[in-house]
Every structure is written in structure tokens, then in C-alpha cells.
Amino acid sequence: MTTQAPTEPWAKGLSLKLRSNLLPIIILLVMVAAVALLVPSFFQPSNLLNVGRQSAIVGIIAVGMTFVILTGGIDLSVGSILALSGVTTAILINNGLIVPLAIVAGMLVGVVAGIINGIGVAVLKVQPFIMTLATMVAIQGLSLRLTDGGPRQFSNREPFFNFIGSGSFLGVPGPFIVFLLIAAAGILVLRYLAFGRYIYAIGGSIEAARLSGVRTTRTIILAYSISGLCAGLAGVMTAARLGVGDPTAGSLSNLDAITAVVIGGTSLMGGIGGAVGTVFGAILLAILSNVMNLLGISPFDQQVVKGAVIVIAVLVAAKATVKRFKERRTDSPKAATSQPPAIPTSSATPDSPERDGSSPAEQTTPR
């Protein structure tokens, strides 16, 4: 029962590993296969690029959201932040500020909102749900106030601004490229920076993190700031695409982003999951919408299907996690009689730094 050679076939280990770690990718592949049979037009290059474009905004927000959810929190304010940062950028450009500075200002709005969320959660100890619900409402009010409730048009001739809104490079949509860059950054931070470890640690057990010396307040504030920054960037990009700063833009993107994170296998309890899953989750959502559009399913029915997909994804992931925690229990009768481990509600994903299952997972314990 120690680290001996696997005693069971490699194939079974592979399947377990896949089920527990690569769930979003599998769902994605199955879906794509099904789509190939149902709607061949899906695979036309122009449509695929369209899917990439559609996944970008939610994907960027979701990558930021992953940090917050990994700490065991949630950020409901991202939709409002998106709107406020777009409005801010539009107003500043209209007032003659040069575009690069207006972009930075829009993103800073997101960071400031994130810091406020973080202070509320980490210092004032307000529950994340309540804190970000409050800022969601307040920030939306702020956007409406700034624009008197209507969209603000602005003229935009900056090539870079166009690029992140609606441009493309070698045929690949600009927003999708930005999404991939943000995703890469998120994955690297969570995997290769000490800060990423502290995020997982806090989500695992905030008391253990504190006793290990993690400066929990600072880390949590930073996590919410990252979420705010990503939402701010998404807001700037949305404004660039639409050519207006719309105070009602992105009102449901908080829910879409949370959905992407959860489908991607990150546990809402914190400590388990990662950004790779989120990226697949966001793309999966975009494919789902796209295919249903191609099939001519009504938007109302689409929502019902989306809801069903979320529940199914989470159920499958939770099963895989329970298996993962149960099957590897080792030696000692004491261990068997003691409390079972707290089973997180969701699955481990490919990029939680040590969850890549570099050795086969089939080593079970003889009972």
C-alpha cells in the first residue's frame, strides 16, 4: 500500500484520472463530436472564430473570478464593474483623454472596486456574497448616474482599441487573443507563483493558512482586485466593440462567469480547481450557445438547457472527487474509523498545481 508499482491496469487509472481531472475537456470533446453530427456548419472557420469571440468577455471575467472562488469567496459585482469601466472609458475619451490612458483608467476602476470588495470581505469580515451583492448594486447605480441612464457614444479611431474590441490578427479575433493571454497569465500565477499557493491555502482552510504564516487579509484583497481588474478589462473591451459606454452592459456576466468557473471544476468551497478548467468552461458555454443558435433553438429554451448542463457538470465532477478522496485512503485502522475527509462539492481540475496526476491514479488500497 505504499508507493509500489501499480497493481491494476493502466487503463482503469487513466479513466479515473480523466474523470477526475479532465472533466471539462471531456465534456467539450463529447459535445464537439455531437455537434459534428448535428450541425456540420458549426465547423466552418468563420463560425469557429465567432465562438472564440463570444467566449472572450465571459472567459476573461471568469479567469479573475477563479481567484476569488478558489479562496472560498464569490464576486457578484463583476457585471457592474464591467459596465462602470466601459462607461468611464467612454466618458474620458469624449472628454479628450488619450485612448491608452482611458483604457488604463477603465481597468483601474475595476481594481478599485475589487479592493473595496476585498477589504469588505477580509477586513470587515462581511460574507463575500453579501459584500459583492452590495457593490454590484452600488456600482451599477454609479454607472447609471454617470450616464444619466443612457449609453454614451464615443468616437474611436485608435487601432489597438479597435483590436481588443472587434479586430483580428491573422484572422483570429482580437478579444479571443486577449482572453488567451489573460488565461495564460492566470494559469501561470496560480501554478508558479507563491501567491497562487496562498490562494489555494486560504480556500483549503483559512485558519491553517493563517497559522502557516499566510497574510490572509492581503491575499484575499489581492484576489478580489484581480477579479476587478479582469472585469474592468472586459468592460473596456465591451465598450470598444460596441462603440458606446453602456451602463446596462454585462448585467448577467457575473452569473455566466461563475457558471464557467464551476463547469471548469473549481469548487465553490474553495481550495480546489484552477484556471485551465475555467478556460474550457468559458469556451464550452460559448459553444453551447452557438450550437443552439445554429439549431434555431429559441433563447428561452437555451436558458433551460444551460441550467441543465450546469447541474450535470457539477454532479459528475462531485462524483469524481468523492471517488478520488475515497479510493486512496491508506493504511491504519484508525484512519478508516475517523471522520471521512470533507468532500468538496466539485472536482479537481487539470491545473491545480499538484493535481496533474503525474503518476497513475489507480493505486487503491487493499481493504
Partner 1 sequence: MAPRLAVQNLSKHFLGVQALHDVSFELHPGQVLALIGENGAGKSTLIRILSGAHQPDTGEVRMNGRPVQINGPKDSEAHGIATVYQELNLFPDLTVAENLVFGAYPRKGVIDWKAAKREARDFLGSLGLNVDVNRKVRELSVAEKQMLEIAKSLHRNAQVLILDEPTAVLGGDDVDHLLQLVHGLKERGVSIIFVSHRLEEVFDLADRYIVLKDGKLTGAGKISETDHDDLVSKMVGRNFTRGEREVSGTLGETALEVKNLTREGVLNDISFNVRSGEVVGVAGLRGAGRTELARAIYGADPYTSGEVIVKGRKLKAGKPLQAIDAGIGLVPEERKTQGLFTALSTAMNIPLVSMLKNRTATASPSRDRSLAKGYVDKLRIKLPDVSSPVATLSGGNQQKVVLAKWLEAGVDVLILDEPTRGIDIGAKQEIYELIHELCRQGLAIIVISSELPEVLALSNRILVMYHGEVAAELEGATATEEQIMFYAVGGK
* Residues of the shown chain interacting with partner 1 in the complex, contacts defined by CB under 8 A: 1-3, 191-197, 200-201, 204-205, 207-215, 271-272, 324-325, 328-335, 337-339, 341-342, 344, 352-359, 361, 363-365
d(CA 112, CA 224): 10
* Least distance between partner 1 and beta carbon 300 (Å): 39
Give 176 or 200: the residue with its C-beta nearer to partner 1: 200
* Least distance between partner 1 and beta carbon 273 (Å): 10
Give 89 or 321: the residue with its C-beta nearer to partner 1: 321
Give 156 or 321: the residue with its C-beta nearer to partner 1: 321
Phi, psi of 276 (to 5 degrees): -60, -45
Local structure of 123: helix, strand or coil: coil
* Least distance between partner 1 and beta carbon 363 (Å): 4
Which helix or strand (DSSP H or E) is residue 15 part of? helix 10-21
Q: Which residues contact 187 (CB under 8 A, 6 or more apart)?
A: 274, 275, 276, 279, 351
Give 149 or 341: the residue with its C-beta nearer to partner 1: 341
* Least distance between partner 1 and beta carbon 132 (Å): 24
Give 18 or 325: the residue with its C-beta nearer to partner 1: 325
Give 168 or 345: the residue with its C-beta nearer to partner 1: 345
d(CA 328, CA 12): 14
Local structure of 212: helix, strand or coil: coil
* Least distance between partner 1 and beta carbon 123 (Å): 15
In angstroms, what CA-CA distances link 198 with 201, 217, 314?
5, 11, 25
* Least distance between partner 1 and beta carbon 274 (Å): 12
Instruction: Judge contact between 237 and 162, C-beta under 8 A.
Output: no
Which helix or strand (DSSP H or E) is residue 168 part of? strand 168-169
